[in-house]
Amino acid sequence: MMKEIDVSKFEKKMIIRNIEAGDFDDIIAMSKLCFKNMEPWRYDQLRSHIEIFPEGQFCVEYDGEIIGSCSSLIINFDEYDDQHTWDEITDEGYITNHDSEGYNLYGIEVMVHPNYRRMKIGRRLYEARKDLARELNLKSIIIGGRIPNYSKHAAELTPRQYVEEVTMHNLYDPVLTFQVVNGFTLKRVNSNYLDDDKASMRYATLMEWNNIDYRPTIPKRKFKTSFPVRITTIQYEMKKIASFEEFAVQCEYYTDVAAGFNSDFAIFPEIFTLQLLSFLPEKSPSRAIRRLTEFTEDYIELFTTLAVRYNINIVGGSHFVEEEGKIYNISYLFRRDGTIEKQYKIHVTPNERLFWGISGGDEVKVFDTDCGKIAIQICYDIEFPELARIAVDKGANIIFTPFCTDDRQGYLRVRYCSQARAIENQLYTVISGTVGNLPDVENMDIQYAQSGIFSPSDFTFARDGIVGECNPNIETVVVGDVDLEILRRHRRSGSVNQLRDRRHDVYHISYKQP
């Protein structure tokens, strides 16, 4: 009598899934095999893909081995020139121009390990893309396809003639033939598409697959002539108070002022909650900070209530918080829908470390809001240009910087760096500082601030790149409007374009995930 056969020992599982950071080594090694004599993927490019558009990056895992992959981004194709290049479409492989409100999925690469070809791996990846396009209700998939066999026929055929011969099945091209079989139609032939594609002689076919399930009656995007965002930055006076309730009254007053101007955001300064120490008897700075952390839940409850009650997004300055025995300087984002996010201060100043024993965070976050993506970089953090570049690569349009400085020199470091970040990264920056003094609180003797809202420096923005600024060293607010649609256009057609003109071939920022 025969034993029952254990079929499990014959199983080899094939999985199509989204790319993860642990796949990078295999994908880079595969790109070297698939695209010989061409520049392979780099870690920072792949990392950018999964940070910006993780659902658009697919791989095929067969029996635990990565044997195929593809990458893509969403764009509004009408905004690009007909004769675009691969670098223009992909921002040189980093896809920082991904537009979640676009209409077209653009495929930028498909590859299959040479040892696993003729197993329909490429078709499976294309089907995954088509399913994604249907799920996201995208109008079409567009690809710029290589024609690697063209170099063998260039002496007798023009690129157009070669493409016609392949589409009529008189000639075979491993890429173009595959795309035609998979339902893509030819739109045009582009020259100088990919600089290092010598086999295609730098030509590429622009192909499109139309999503017949696309629902045009459901608008994906409302085109706007402007996208104004109103910001109130609060220059908060540090003065002696008698209770948390008195602190809450001051915070509500400023929230009410910001809401009265119909602001979308109100921003308070860094560690302005140290005002609470003015009614506590503790004189030792390190012990006083531990006492301050006891107000964390009251602080969070207060600002959550204010954000919802006054229908305004609040950057709640920053507050010292104890977590697992360590003290962190944390800025909270209180959205007007009642949800909360937080950004840890990454770079701790020598003063914070010496007097208060503050620990630094390790993650650059970008937050979605009803007014676009924003980042928060607390005081000293704005003085490190890498952080702002990482934030803008993650999609940030505004960086809010709560700060606390005791003299003009310290203030100017924050201000000049904030304005520099606005220019370097083509985005808006906002700073909010404390004024006044707390004689009874150790290490918080005097304050210097001139809070403001800054823009890139170009014709379409405010003169001198200053949207608005407070008078120095008085308790007040400044209200200003920034326009995200103008910012979007500026990033495409400004007098200079710092984001597009970066030399990724010479330098890049490598962001280590926490």
Scanning 337-448, the segments in alpha helix (DSSP H) are: 350-351, 385-393, 408-425
What percentage of the chain's residues is helix, strand, coil (to nearest 5)?
Answer: 35, 25, 40
Q: How many CB atoms lie within 10 A of CB 350?
A: 8
Cβ atoms of 455 and 229 closer than 8 Å? no
Cβ atoms of 299 and 316 closer than 8 Å? yes
Residue whose tokens read 């990458």: 71
Q: Distance between CA 167 and CA 163 in Å, rounded? A: 6
Give the angle 233-491-497 at the CA atoms, nearest 5°.
110
- The active-site residue, picked from 345, 365, 373, 394, is 345
270 labelled catalytic: yes
Q: Distance between CA 64 and CA 19 in Å, rounded? A: 13
Beta bridge partners of 140: 104, 210
Tokens of 477: 């607010």
Q: Distance between CA 96 and CA 497 in Å, rounded? A: 14
Element (H, E) at 75: strand 65-75
- The most distant pair of C-alpha atoms in the chain lies apart, rounded to whole Å, by 95
Q: How many Cα atoms sit within 13 Å of 409 on the Cβ side? A: 0
Cβ atoms of 487 and 398 closer than 8 Å? no
Task: Output phi, psi for 195, to 5 deg.
Answer: -55, -40
Q: Distance between CA 385 and CA 383 in Å, rounded? A: 6
Q: How far is CA 195 from CA 38, 71, 191, 326, in A?
A: 9, 19, 10, 51
SS3 62: strand
- The active-site residue, picked from 379, 404, 417, 470, is 379
Q: What is the DSSP letter of 87?
A: H
Beta-sheet strand order (sheet of 14-18): 14-18, 58-62, 65-75, 104-112, 140-146, 204-210, 185-190
Q: How far is CA 201 from CA 162, 184, 198, 457, in A?
A: 12, 22, 5, 40
Q: Distance between CA 290 and CA 354 in Å, rounded? A: 15
- The active-site residue, picked from 270, 352, 383, 469, is 270
345 labelled catalytic: yes
4 labelled catalytic: no
Helices 385-393 & 43-52, crossing angle to 10 degrees?
A: 60
**Which residues does the annotation mark as catalytic?**
270, 345, 379
